[in-house]
Amino acid sequence: MTSDLFGDYIAVLIAAILGFVLVGGALIANLILSPRQPTRTKGVTYECGMLTIGRTRTQLHFRYYLFAILFLIFDIEAVFLFPWAVTFLEIGKQAFWEMIAFIAILGFGLAYAWKKGVLRWR
Amino acid sequence: MLWPAMTQLNFQWELLAPEFILVGWAGALVLLDLFWGSSAGLRTGRIGKEPLGYLAAAGAVAAALVSLFWIGDHKNFADLIDVNNYTTLFRVFFGLTAAFACIASARYVKDRLLHPGEYYALILLSVVGANGMAAASELLTAYISLELLSFSLYVLASYDKFDLRSNEGGLKYMLLGAFSSAIFLYGISLVYGVTGSTHFNAIGEVLKGDTSDIDMALLLGLALMIGGLGFKVAAVPFHMWTPDAYEGAPLPITALISALSKSAGFALFLKLFTQAFLPLIDDWRYFIAALSVATMALGNLVAIQQQNLKRLLAYSSIGQVGYLLMGIAALSPESASALVLHMIGYVVTNLAVFVCIIIYYNWTGKEEIKDYAGTAERAPFLALCLSIALFSLAGMPLFAGFATKFILFQSAAQEDLLWLAGVAVFFSFVSLYYYLLIVKEMYLGEPAERTRFPTPWLEYGALSLLVAGVMFVGLYPQPVYDAVEDSTATIFAAVEDSAAVSERP
């Protein structure tokens, strides 16, 4: 059983080596063969043909990140609620209480964030 | 289709009562702090930071007491979690460990940290993880429990968020911890791939038969799992995170990492290797013995050079892991009991050391060894307790360290590992040197000032209890040894039970 277990990996090994050789070969060939004539205009950031405004690097407020995390609560809730709703009748009472417990845990997280003032946009 | 089969499993939710208590208590602490805590913006009726610590300790003790209800039982929850004497011993042990950590935290957190509710909640959640690691009878449950414990500790290690060292230590701990989890998980997948099960007993069954055709993958999986667990308990090639995490973490958390995380790691290590991998002992015995020697050597030799007390204790704890690994290399019912006994003695002693350091840090805010100069004059009781604990760590007679080490070394010698026991004795002598350096500093050094320190009664009470524990285990280890023997007997009995079942047809 196991001699096969590792025998099968030969194919993976060959594919991996081949992949590295092909990609590496293409990159190196490009490096050697391509003509290079850099000018200032060529180095400018390209955005739909318009001139870019300001610097490329801007700071985003940390708040967005917290909102994204909070969104995750509802996301996960939806992901689990749909399959739950489909099999709800087969399983019965237990499913109901388990989902109540699950939502209570998620609600705890939301209440925590709310009280900590994460939802206030200042 | 799946459901009827699953309802035949044993869903006795009450078996998990201690864990429910811990989780509920943790949630309640967060809410208490959120609505009535020091930062809630109330004018009156606020709960200070300090009482939260005592409340958390009460919760941990409550969970430990409730778990006593299952002494002598052989129950199993849904084929995933065993509730037997082994589990009960560790539930009580982890609960009490966390309670001491909470009490030691109370004043430290009040003076130096923010968000006390979450801090104590995370400590209680880490106990849930530790309980799960001792109780799991299946690899994935063990893995999830391991992650619960580790995640709580990652956050706690970087809890002093305005201290760069804490951030650095926490980040290193998290990155290396995540890496080791991946390794462990890969090991699980390989072992599952060749044995077809994640249940410890079922794996043991398969391995008892002819394994010559699955050798390669099995050994790879085994090595990866040893590596993953080695990271968690800080065995030598995998120890790099320990000194930084220990130095950076807030002091009570350093105590918690060295006590809870290490002993939970060994609880899982021991159970897994007894129930699942015992048939292969000839394949991994010398591997673990080599790890053990490397761990002892590096931990004890590098500890000599340390100036910072936390780093010294980090390396000394690595050295202790070397002794504990010896019990796994010589795996037998006797050495398993000796291993758990040494672990209990080590944790009690280590907690005593850390309570001393925390008290001293609360007074002075210093943690270098040379800062301890003349402590005996300014706080005689503290110096005495710290000396007793350090002597016990070094393995001097009268104290826990000697009795437990003696039994451990003896059990290793019985399993033809006399040379390993010899190496361990040698490094015990080496360790005496750096522990004595601290004692020397305390008793012979000149204090910078001569004023007495104030007496923190509660911390001194906890410290007295721990030191009494050190002396008790040192002078009269019999009752503790009996309890430990009862508990390890259950994991060895589980191996024989499953053998009896398979022989019947």
Average pLDDT, chain B: 90
B213/A1 Cβ within 8 A: yes
The number of distinct structural domains making up chain A is 2
Share of chain B above pLDDT 70, in %: 95
Are A76 and A36 in a shared domain? no
A6/B217 Cβ within 8 A: yes
Q: Is residue A20 part of a domain?
A: yes
Are A33 and A67 in a shared domain? no
Are A38 and A74 in a shared domain? no
Range of the domain at A69: 62-115
Q: Is residue A69 part of a domain?
A: yes
Q: Is residue A122 part of a domain?
A: no
Are A76 and A110 in a shared domain? yes
B357: pLDDT strictly greater than 90? yes
Residue of B nearest to A115 (CA): B34
Task: Tell me the per-residue pLDDT of B213-244, one tens digit each, with 9 for 90 and over.
Answer: 777 888 899 999 999 999 999 998 889 999 99
Q: Is A108 on the interface with B (CB under 8 A)?
A: yes
Can you tell me which residue has the tokens 């999986």?
B221
User: Which residues from A are below 8 Å from B35, CB to CB?
Assistant: 115
User: Which residues from B are below 8 Å from A5, CB to CB?
Assistant: 193-194, 214, 216-217
Task: Tell me the per-residue pLDDT of B76-133, one tens digit each, with 9 for 90 and over.
Answer: 888 899 999 999 999 999 999 999 999 999 999 998 898 899 999 999 999 999 999 9
d(CA A89, CA A92): 5
d(CA A117, CA B3): 42
Would you place residue B407 in the very low, low, confident or very high pLDDT band (cuts 50, 70, 90)?
Answer: very high
Cβ–Cβ < 8 Å for B287, B223:
yes
Report the run of H or E that residue B466 belongs to, with start and end: helix B457-475
Would you place residue A5 in the very low, low, confident or very high pLDDT band (cuts 50, 70, 90)?
Answer: low
Average pLDDT over residues A91-109: 88
Are A38 and A68 in a shared domain? no
Are A39 and A66 in a shared domain? no
Are A34 and A72 in a shared domain? no
| Chain B interface, Cβ < 8 Å to A | 3, 27, 30, 34-35, 193-194, 213-217
A116/B213 Cβ within 8 A: no
Q: Nearest-CA neighbor of B316 among B288, B353, B285?
A: B353
Would you place residue A3 in the very low, low, confident or very high pLDDT band (cuts 50, 70, 90)?
Answer: low
Query: A21 to chain B, minimum CA–CA distance in Å?
Result: 27
d(CA B388, CA B375): 14
Q: Is residue A87 part of a domain?
A: yes
Residue of B nearest to A1 (CA): B213
Q: Is residue A56 part of a domain?
A: no
Q: What is the DSSP string of A80-103?
A: HHHHHHHHHHHH-HHHHHHHHHHH
- HEC string of B188-224 equals HHHHHHHHCCCEHHHHHHHHHCCCHHHHHHHHHHHHH
Are A66 and A111 in a shared domain? yes
Query: Lowest-confidence range among B14-28, B49-63, B177-191, B443-457?
Result: B443-457
Would you place residue A36 in the very low, low, confident or very high pLDDT band (cuts 50, 70, 90)?
Answer: confident
B145: pLDDT strictly greater than 80? yes
Q: Which CA distances in Å does B60 have to B64, B234, B269?
A: 6, 26, 24
Query: A69 to chain B, minimum CA–CA distance in Å?
Result: 17
Cβ–Cβ < 8 Å for B121, B27:
yes
Q: What is the pLDDT of residue B11?
A: 77
Task: Tell me the per-residue pLDDT of B237-264, one tens digit each, with 9 for 90 and over.
Answer: 889 999 999 999 999 999 999 999 999 9
Q: Is residue A107 part of a domain?
A: yes
Q: Is residue A66 part of a domain?
A: yes
Are A72 and A35 in a shared domain? no
Are A67 and A111 in a shared domain? yes
Non-local (6+) Cβ contacts of B127 within 8 A are B22, B60, B63, B94, B95, B97, B98, B260
Average pLDDT, chain A: 84
Cβ–Cβ < 8 Å for B221, B187:
yes
DSSP state of B368: B
Query: B213 to chain A, minimum CA–CA distance in Å?
Result: 6
Query: A54 to chain B, minimum CA–CA distance in Å?
Result: 33
Are A37 and A74 in a shared domain? no
Q: Nearest-CA neighbor of B269 among B220, B229, B228?
A: B229
Are A26 and A71 in a shared domain? no
Q: Record the tokens describing residue B402, joined without a space.
A: 């000697």
| pTM, entire model | 0.88
Cβ pairs A/B, distance under 8 A: 24
Average pLDDT over residues B6-25: 83
